[in-house]
């Protein structure tokens, strides 16, 4: 048995208001006056001085606002990297991502592609990155994906939706300030929070589970139950707990894998551009055969928060469309093996997937 040797985020600050320390954290990391810090910030914070006025820009430092209507694309990374390299006098001192899973993944990918030649799509897969990334910092403003802690940055390329999984992907520094999540709209809070819940279910019921993953997964699962079912929690407690649930959920899948919901959701994302959080919810709602207890609890949470999921999204699809989604989903072999064991192909047949997609 060859055990995996995973990197972890080496530095983390946790606390309400800790975002105020951003300038002190970055100062010692500045390489020179010609090596700027590049802040990639979710577009939702454009014109929001509550957040942006706390960032002290010096020399050639720059903020780039990132739209999040669509999930990250490999071409988008290539364009951003080109723009940054062309404008900076020297290689930047660091990339700081401030936002949800979309912006955090873009920050990780840009930091990698600044030091690795070629195009981002060349690195989609496992351990293809050759050179260490530049210094990169992740600051989540919505909780659930675990992107702040994971070893991957999920990108949609011309041929596939697949992460750049590498030892150079994790952030060098994370700042967890739950106050940054205070204005997340309810629906989005639920969808991204359920990403965390689904990470727990898929990890805890998977065949890859070990005590390392289990200890993180159980903690995240407990926190999710409190956050989504306990009325007595204050808003502030709930935001802090979800931030830690996201972290633990991410740590749980680091040493195991996700499962059926993620595989099918990647199919929806690839063909229809359906975003990760809501896509996972749409899929998970129909997975009672695979995750009976997890789905029952999900439905309870959904009802409690009055969440109406879109219906009939696959109603007008062609055979070709279904086949594309099925191909993307079945291509994610480790996810199926984790969910169903070595003989997963006997259970997860194209016909079974088609009938699941037809229900959505
Ligand atoms: P997101 O980053 O797209 O954000 C969702 C929405 O919430 C956006 O409209 C954004 O503007 C808004 N938002 C974010 N913070 C806000 C705030 N404080 N106030 C108001 N609005 C706010 O969504 P997400 O669910 O966080 O991330 C999804 C992405 O994460 C997908 O691209 C998915 O592939 C990726 N992902 C990555 C990993 C990983 O390990 N790298 C894991 C899971 C998902
Ligand atoms: Zn996920």
Which parts of the chain register pLDDT below 50?
none
Question: Distance between CA atoms of 105 and 211, rounded to whole angstroms?
Answer: 27
- CB of 183 closer than 6 angstroms to any ligand 1 atom: yes
Q: How many CA atoms lie within 13 A of 265 on its CB side?
A: 26
pLDDT digits (tens, 9 = 90+) for 336-360: 999 999 999 999 999 999 999 999 9
Starting from the CA of residue 68, give the closest ligand. Answer: 1
Mean pLDDT rounded to a whole number for the chain: 97
**Strand, coil or helix: what is 13?**
strand
Give the HSE-up count for residue 269: Cα atoms under 13 Å, Cβ half-sphere.
Answer: 28
Nearest CA to ligand 1 atom 19: 184
Q: For residues 168 and 132, is the Cβ–Cβ distance under 8 A?
A: yes
C-beta of 97 in contact with ligand 1 (< 6 A): no
The closest of 263, 267, 274, 280 to 324, measured between CA atoms, is 267
First to last CA, the chain: 40
> What phi and psi values does residue 334 have, to the nearest 5 degrees?
-60, -30
Instruction: Go through the domains of the chain in sequence order and give each one's CATH number.
Output: 11-181 (3.40.50.1970), 186-359 (1.20.1090.10)
Complex prediction ipTM: 0.99
Q: What is the pLDDT of residues 195-204, one digit of tens each?
A: 999 999 999 9
184 lines ligand 1 (CB under 6 A): yes
- Ligand 1, atom nearest to 182 Cα: 18
Is residue 266 within 8 A of residue 167, CB to CB? The reply is no
pLDDT in tens, 232-250: 999 999 999 999 999 999 9
Q: Is the CB of 38 under 6 A from ligand 1?
A: no
Give 130-174 pLDDT, tens digit per residue. 999 999 999 999 999 999 999 999 999 988 888 999 999 999 999
User: From atom 8 of ligand 1, which residue's Cα is the shortest distance away?
Assistant: 68
Q: Is 148 in the pocket of ligand 1 (CB under 6 A)?
A: no
Dihedral pair phi/psi, residue 107, rounded to 5°: -60, -45
Distance CA 64, CA 90 (A): 18
Please report the pLDDT score of residue 1 as a whole number. Answer: 78
Separation of alpha carbons 44 and 190, rounded Å? 18
- Looking at residue 4, what is its pLDDT? 85
Query: For position 38, what pLDDT does the model report?
Result: 98
Whether the CB of 279 sits within 6 Å of ligand 1: no
């Amino acid at each position: 048995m060859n055990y995996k040797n995973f990197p972890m985020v080496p530095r983390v600050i946790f606390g309400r208001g800790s975002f105020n320390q951003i300038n002190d954290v970055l100062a010692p990391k500045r390489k020179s006056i010609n090596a700027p810090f590049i802040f990639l910030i979710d577009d939702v914070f454009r014109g929001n001085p509550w957040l942006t006025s706390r960032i002290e820009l010096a020399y050639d430092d720059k903020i780039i606002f990132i739209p999040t209507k669509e999930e990250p694309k490999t071409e988008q990374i290539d364009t951003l990297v080109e723009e940054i390299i062309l404008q900076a006098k020297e290689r930047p001192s660091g990339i700081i991502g401030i936002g949800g899973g979309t912006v955090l993944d873009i920050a990780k990918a840009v930091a990698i592609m600044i030091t690795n030649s070629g195009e981002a799509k060349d690195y989609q897969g496992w351990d293809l990155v050759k050179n260490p990334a530049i210094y990169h910092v992740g600051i989540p403003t919505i909780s659930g994906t675990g992107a702040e802690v994971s070893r991957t940055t999920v990108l949609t390329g011309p041929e596939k939706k697949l992460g750049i999984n590498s030892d150079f992907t994790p952030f060098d520094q994370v700042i967890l300030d739950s106050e940054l999540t205070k204005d997340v709209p309810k629906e989005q809070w639920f969808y991204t929070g359920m990403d965390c819940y689904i990470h727990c279910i898929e990890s805890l019921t998977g065949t890859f589970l070990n005590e390392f993953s289990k200890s993180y997964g159980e903690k995240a699962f407990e926190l999710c139950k409190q956050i989504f079912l306990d009325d007595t929690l204050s808003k502030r407690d709930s935001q802090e707990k979800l931030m830690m649930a996201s972290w633990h959920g991410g740590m749980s899948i680091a040493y195991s894998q996700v499962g059926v919901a993620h595989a099918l959701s990647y199919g929806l994302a690839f063909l229809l551009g359906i975003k990760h959080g809501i896509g996972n919810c749409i899929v998970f709602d129909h997975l009672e055969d695979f995750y009976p207890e997890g789905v029952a609890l999900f439905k309870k949470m959904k009802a409690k928060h009055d969440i109406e999921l879109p219906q009939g999204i696959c109603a007008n699809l062609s055979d070709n469309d279904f086949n594309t989604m099925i191909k993307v989903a079945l291509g994610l072999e480790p996810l199926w093996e984790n969910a169903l064991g070595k003989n997963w192909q006997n259970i997860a047949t194209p016909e079974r997937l088609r009938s699941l997609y037809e229900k959505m």
